[in-house]
Amino acid sequence: MKSVYVYAIICVVLILIGVGGYYFFTKGKVESGEPETIVIGGQEEQTSGTENYMSMPDTTEVPASVSEYTVIAYDPESTSLDTASSWEEKEECPGGGYDCLYIERVNENGRVTAITDKDGNDFLQKFTDDLYNGKLKWIDEAIQDPTNFARMTQRYKLSDDNQLMFKVDDKWVRVEPGANKEYQLKDGGMLTQDMTVTKYLINLMVLYKASGKPKPNIVIDLPALKRQVIGTEVSPTYEPEDPQQ
């Protein structure tokens, strides 16, 4: 009888060890089959320019009355790799107006927590969905081109926690989306890292998809910047939001 009790105690101990080990090794990790959530965060953000399939109009194209913050025209069927061609042709949405634009949504703490259209559709997730569904042929072609992709991976990689890294000499450093940073090189030169949120998203998702990772959820948490109102003869400049306003 005593041996039965000893056997039972050993079984209980082994079960506890197994449960404890499972918890230790899986704590904080995403369960298989569940998408990871990637947060695009940083100290600064830029508010104009063009990227793959996207245009970010300044206030000469989209007035500040539409939004004081960054607006994005996105065209997954763009005939141009570098812009949203449907926007660039007429500088308005199909049918006129600005209803197709994605606009930064800023919370009470002055941080961008979403980029959505008038119906609440999320731009970051829309772009990610389109990429994973094969709708962005220009990017897919770049991924499939061994030369282009090898050139990219010589400069960029994903960190263990799926943040974008880029190479400075023989050292990898974390990219801060929107931040303008300069790095001293061993040969005495300077390397500038200046990447908009949209370009960060593109590079991050290209590496993510090419590495065979499943489609993630994307969220954003950045300080908001207002678009400076400019005249048609003034060069676009952008400044941080004045906390006293």
User: Distance between CA 114 and CA 102 in Å, rounded?
Assistant: 10
Least confident of 23-32, 71-80, 113-122: 23-32
Q: How far apart are CA 122 and CA 79, in angstroms?
A: 23
Q: Evaluate if pTM is beyond 0.85.
A: no
Q: Is the pLDDT of residue 231 over 70?
A: no
In-domain check, residue 111: yes
- Closest to 241 (Cα-Cα) out of 101, 60, 128, 104: 104
> Which pLDDT value is given to residue 225?
79
pLDDT at 19: 38
User: CA 236, CA 225: separation in Å to the nearest integer?
Assistant: 14
Question: Is the per-residue pLDDT at 237 higher than 80?
Answer: no
Q: b/e map of 88-121 (b: 16 or more CB within 10 Å)?
A: beeebeeeeebebbbbbbbeeeeebebbbbeeee
Min mean pLDDT across 79-88, 127-136, 183-192 is at 79-88
Task: Mean pLDDT check: name the lowest of 9-13, 68-72, 78-82, 131-135.
Answer: 9-13
Domain total in the chain: 1
Residue 120 lies in a domain: yes
User: For residue 54, what are its two tokens?
Assistant: 């996207």
The Cβ of residue 176 has, within 10 Å, a number of other Cβ atoms equal to 18
- Report if residue 10 sits inside a domain: no
226 in a domain, yes or no?
A: yes
Which pLDDT belongs to residue 133?
Answer: 94
Are 131 and 138 within 8 A, CB to CB?
no
Is 219 a member of any domain? yes
Query: Which of 55-69, 76-90, 104-118, 228-242 has the lowest average pLDDT?
Result: 228-242
In a domain, 5, yes or no: no
Q: Is the pLDDT of residue 235 over 50?
A: no
**Residue 55 falls inside a structural domain:** yes
15 in any annotated domain: no
Cβ-based neighbour number of residue 45 at 10 Å: 23
Which residue pairs from 108-115 have beta carbons closer than 8 angstroms and sit at least 24 positions apart in sequence?
A: 110/223, 110/224, 110/241, 110/243, 111/221, 111/222, 111/223, 111/224, 112/45, 112/69, 112/70, 112/220, 112/221, 112/222, 112/223, 112/224, 113/219, 113/220, 113/221, 114/219, 114/220, 115/70, 115/72, 115/220
Q: Is the pLDDT of residue 66 over 70?
A: yes
Domain that holds residue 208: 37-234
Average pLDDT, the chain: 75
Q: How many CB atoms lie within 10 A of CB 171?
A: 9
